[in-house]
């Protein structure tokens, strides 16, 4: 009788072992369950517009970039507020550009939209809930405005963002297949089942490649020692972020899905693959009961 009870207790312990392993793994994952994740990035968060309210109410937010409004600083982050109710919602953020007649501008021929994403804290997301971006480029092919060129590129953030990665950056001009003088771009960010307990910061800004001239107005940013790679010119509205020491040059470039370049959707950006862990747990649940002493 005593031996049977001991075997039963041992069997219950073996069943709880996979759960214990999973808990220890999640605790050890960088940034998981850590409310201080992202505090290493020192910048003024008050400069960013919080979209939690419009996103939770209407499911969308739209803005336009133009000469008078060359940058949009947006965020989803209510971690520092008091008396908040955490919730889950879908949201689409759409940003359009109004950069007409670029061929007639002074050194502005290669102007387009750039997106920076950083202080990302959302834990591990399912594949269907991964953050997706869509870049649309529309160009006028003739002076009469009767022929246009349309192209669309899709992007995706990894399901889990490693703590060691400060952020991502997407350059619209480098991603388009063909260049046209009179053209505009728009970009949308699709957030599925976003939990308001997480955080993500966006900077949407006009930029241009400094080639072959210097940045006549704005901030010239050169992150590459290779002289063949030209610097980027950003609007002066981003100067406070650069003065705060935002590690812009450490942001990982985000490339279109299906591109022959390395994309940020690669499965092994953060170390151990979660799918491998789940497979291990499934094997333990099958094999461990066989090891229980009869």
Tens of pLDDT, residues 171-190: 988 877 666 656 788 999 99
The helix/strand/coil state of 36 is coil
Directed axis angle between helix 274-287 and helix 2-28, to 10°? 180
Instruction: Tally Cβ neighbours within 10 Å of residue 98.
Output: 12
More confident residue, 233 or 294: 233
Residues ≥6 apart with Cβ < 8 Å to 157: 117, 120, 130, 131, 132, 133, 168, 254, 264, 265
Give the pLDDT band (50/70/90) at residue 69: very high
Residue pLDDT, tens place only, 253-277: 999 987 644 333 333 343 334 444 4
Mean pLDDT throughout 24-34?
A: 43
- Highest mean pLDDT range out of 47-51, 104-108, 146-150, 280-284? 47-51
What is the residue whose two structure tokens read 């290779």? 226
Helix (H) or strand (E) holding 21: helix 2-28
Task: State whether the Cα torsion 69-75-81-87 is positive or negative.
Answer: positive
Is the predicted pLDDT of residue 291 greater than 60, yes or no? no
Residue pLDDT, tens place only, 115-126: 999 999 988 999
Backbone phi and psi for residue 138, each to the nearest 5 degrees, phi listed first: -125, 125
In this predicted structure, which of 48-52, 72-76, 105-109 has the lowest mean pLDDT? Answer: 105-109
| Cα–Cα distances in angstroms (integers) from residue 162 to residues 23, 124, 166, 224, 256, in the given order | 18, 10, 8, 23, 20
Q: Are 81 and 48 in contact (CB under 8 A)?
A: no
More confident residue, 78 or 288: 78
Give the pLDDT band (50/70/90) at residue 17: low
Is the predicted pLDDT of residue 85 greater than 80, yes or no? no
What is the reported pLDDT for 192?
94
What is the reported pLDDT for 213?
65
| Cα–Cα distances in angstroms (integers) from residue 196 to residues 33, 34, 37, 91, 254, in the given order | 14, 15, 15, 11, 24
> Which residues is 71 bridged to in the sheet?
205
Structure-derived torsion over alpha carbons of residues 59, 65, 71, 74, reported in degrees to the nearest 10? 0
What is the residue whose two structure tokens read 């406070």? 240
DSSP calls for 239-264: HHHHHTT--GGGSEEP--TT-SSPPT
In this predicted structure, which of 6-15, 28-37, 71-80, 168-177 has the lowest mean pLDDT? Answer: 28-37
More confident residue, 234 or 212: 234
User: What pTM did the predictor assign?
Assistant: 0.72
Q: Which two tokens stand for residue 143?
A: 């002076």
């Amino acid at each position: 009788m005593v031996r049977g009870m001991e075997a039963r207790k041992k069997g219950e312990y073996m069943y709880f072992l996979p759960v214990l392993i999973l808990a220890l793994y999640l605790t050890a994952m960088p940034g998981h369950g850590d409310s201080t994740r992202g505090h290493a990035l020192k910048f003024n968060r008050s400069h960013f517009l919080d979209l939690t309210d419009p996103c939770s109410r209407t499911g969308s937010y739209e803005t336009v970039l133009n000469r008078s409004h060359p940058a949009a600083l947006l965020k989803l982050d209510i971690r520092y507020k008091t008396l908040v109710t955490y919730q889950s919602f879908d949201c689409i953020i759409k940003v359009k550009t109004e950069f007409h007649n670029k061929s007639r501008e002074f050194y502005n021929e290669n102007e387009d939209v750039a997106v920076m994403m950083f202080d990302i804290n959302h834990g591990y997301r399912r594949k269907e809930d991964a953050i997706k971006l869509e870049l649309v480029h529309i160009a006028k092919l003739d002076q009469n405005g009767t022929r246009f060129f349309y192209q669309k590129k899709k992007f995706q953030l990894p399901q889990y963002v490693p703590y060691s990665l400060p952020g991502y950056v997407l350059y619209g001009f480098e991603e388009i297949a063909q260049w046209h003088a009179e053209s505009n771009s728009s970009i949308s960010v699709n957030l599925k089942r976003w939990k308001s307990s997480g955080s993500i910061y966006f900077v949407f800004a006009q930029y241009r490649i400094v080639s072959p001239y210097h940045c006549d107005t704005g901030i010239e940013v050169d992150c590459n020692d290779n002289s063949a790679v030209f610097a980027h010119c950003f609007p002066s509205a981003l100067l406070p972020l650069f003065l705060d020491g935002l590690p812009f040059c450490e942001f990982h470039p985000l490339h279109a899905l299906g591109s022959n370049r390395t994309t940020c959707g690669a499965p092994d950006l953060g170390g151990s693959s979660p799918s491998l862990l789940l497979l291990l747990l499934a094997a333990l649940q099958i094999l461990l009961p066989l090891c229980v002493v009869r």
